[in-house]
Structure 1
Amino acid sequence: MTTPLVTEPLMRRGVTEMAEPILAVESLVKEFDGFRAVDGVSFAVMPGEIRAVIGPNGAGKSTLFSLIIGELRPTSGKVTLDGRDITGLSTHKLMMRGLGCAFQATNVFWRLSVRECLEVAVTSRRRHSEKLFGKFAQDVDDEVASLLDQVGLSGLAQATSRDLSHGDQRALEVALALAMKPKVLLLDEPTAGMSPSETSRAVNLVRELVETNGITVLIVEHDVSVVFSLADVVTVMHQGQTIAEGPPDEIRKNPTVVEVYLGTSEFSKGLS
């Protein structure tokens, strides 16, 4: 098992070396017809940490994400959340245990307004499904208003979800994940398809969520410039395995990582 890293940003957030990992991946393997898409990956994420997983195309990042969130069952190995084995549990059960997910393919209720989407999510968590389209209690309204404010969508509360910009749709999906009160939030390519201004907004949103709410974040991301500006710890995958792990400054200079990414534009941007 990889020794958890306690970086300076984490120490400033009150995380010490005595803290226990909130999310751990242990010797995770996933085979498809004899091919190992994920090959013995291990890492431990500390409470309040922003952890990023990067790697060139085909490195196994998306498969790893699917294993953690329960979309795929591993061939071997396990995933733990708060010390409890959650390996292979359904995505729904994982959400109930505190693992929130926002996917690369935006997944919102397209015909509902932004406010209605969040009302559905909050009410679902509170298990008052019979009130789904009735009059909502004041505490539900207050929670929805808080979520809208957190992700910067207060001014678009009445807008239909399908009419939002791509960046606003991703912000809404993050809000939907937050509605489940996650301990750990997993973000799959959170800036994919975004303009530079939308990317900057998304980065700031993640920072604010961690600083304000104390949420732990695990990001699978292709844009290393985003990763290097945001993450406390970076895990680098190549051909299904972990080849490096450490703070962004170390990863940026790691010769093995540079060689793996050699000639790719995204890594060159991250170096600048």
Structure 2
Amino acid sequence: SEAVARRVDELIDLMGLGEYRYSFVRELSTGTRRIVDLACLVAHRPTVILLDEPTSGIAQREVEALAPVVRRLRDEMGASLVIVEHDIPFVSGVADRLIAFDQGRVVTTGPPDEVLEHPDVVESYLGTSGAAIARSGGTE
């Protein structure tokens, strides 16, 4: 229908997929497929979008292409995004609020700059504690 065609055009523009409009999904890189997956999700106009490790298994250049797409979703869709992610630069670049966990415990919550400067987050994520070093397989 005409409404479906308009929605497809809208999503292709929103997701920055114009150059892939006539490509088969199997021909796309893993990162671009991830964006197509997001477009399929967004087509349903969700109010909440849950992303579990969206940067996992994709090249750094694809992570860099994914970030503006996630920001557009955040800014233009009006949906809440909940992102579970270990790629700190990615998540701090797309989120307006972070919750940092360590071993299942909330360490702190707040704007990315504040969370990333919190001493317990620095200790846990940057590996300055013995426990963090042990988890990474390193030695003190």
TM-score interval, smaller chain = 0.7 to 0.9
Mapping 1:112-127, distance limit 5 Å:
none
CA distance in 2, matches of 1:216, 1:159: 30
Structure with higher strand content: 1
The code of the aligned residue for 1:200 comes to E
Alignment partner of 1:224 is 2:121: no
* Structure 1 residue aligned with 2:56: 192
Q: What is the match of residue 64 of structure 1?
A: none
Match of 1:40? none
Instruction: Report the alpha carbon displacement of residue 191 of structure 1 after superposing the two structures with TM.
Output: 1.6
Q: Aligned partners of 1:232 and 1:142: how far apart in 2?
A: 30
Q: CA deviation at 1:213?
A: 2.2
Q: Deviations over 1:56-97 (max 9, x none)?
A: xxxxxxxxxxxxxxxxxxxxxxxxxxxxxxxxxxxxxxxxxx
- The match for 2:69 among 202, 205, 209 is 205
**By how many angstroms is 1:257 displaced?**
1.3
**Paired AA for residue 104 in structure 2:** G
Aligned to 1:172: 36
Give the structure 2 partner of residue 215 of structure 1. Answer: 79
**1:29-55 deviations in Å (ceiling 9; x for gaps):** xxxxxxxxxxxxxxxxxxxxxxxxxxx
Report the secondary structure of 1:171's partner residue: helix
Displacement of 1:248 in angstroms is 1.2
Identical-pair percentage: 38
Aligned alpha-carbon RMSD (Å): 1.6
- Give the whole-Å Cα distance in 2 for the aligned partners of 1:153 and 1:229: 21
Unaligned stretches of 5+ residues in structure 1: 1-136, 265-272
Give CA-to-partner distance per residue, 1:91-144, whole Å, 9 cap, x none: xxxxxxxxxxxxxxxxxxxxxxxxxxxxxxxxxxxxxxxxxxxxxx11111111
Match of residue 159 from structure 1: 23
Which of 96, 99, 102 pairs up with 1:235? 99
Please show how residues 241-256 of structure 1 align to structure 2 within 5 Å: 241-256=105-120
User: Greater helix share, 1 or 2?
Assistant: 2
**Is 1:181 aligned to 2:45, yes or no?**
yes
- Secondary structure of 2:10's counterpart equals helix
Distance 1:236 1:251 in 2: 7
Report the alpha carbon displacement of residue 154 of structure 1 after superposing the two structures with TM.
2.4
Greater RCO (Cα-Cα under 8 Å, separation 6 or more): 1
Larger Rg: 1
Distance (Å, rounded) in 2 between the aligned partners of 1:260 and 1:186: 24
> What SS is found at the alignment partner of 2:83?
strand
Matched residue of 1:235: which SS?
Answer: strand
Q: Please name the residue that 1:150 is paired with.
A: 14
TM-score normalised by L of structure 2: 0.82
> Which amino acid in 2 is paired with 1:149?
D
Give how far 1:165 is off: 0.6
Partners of 2:45 and 2:94 in 1: how far apart? 22
Shift of 1:171: 0.5
- The residue identity in structure 2 corresponding to 1:219 is I
Aligned counterparts of 1:174 and 1:243: Cα–Cα separation in 2: 30
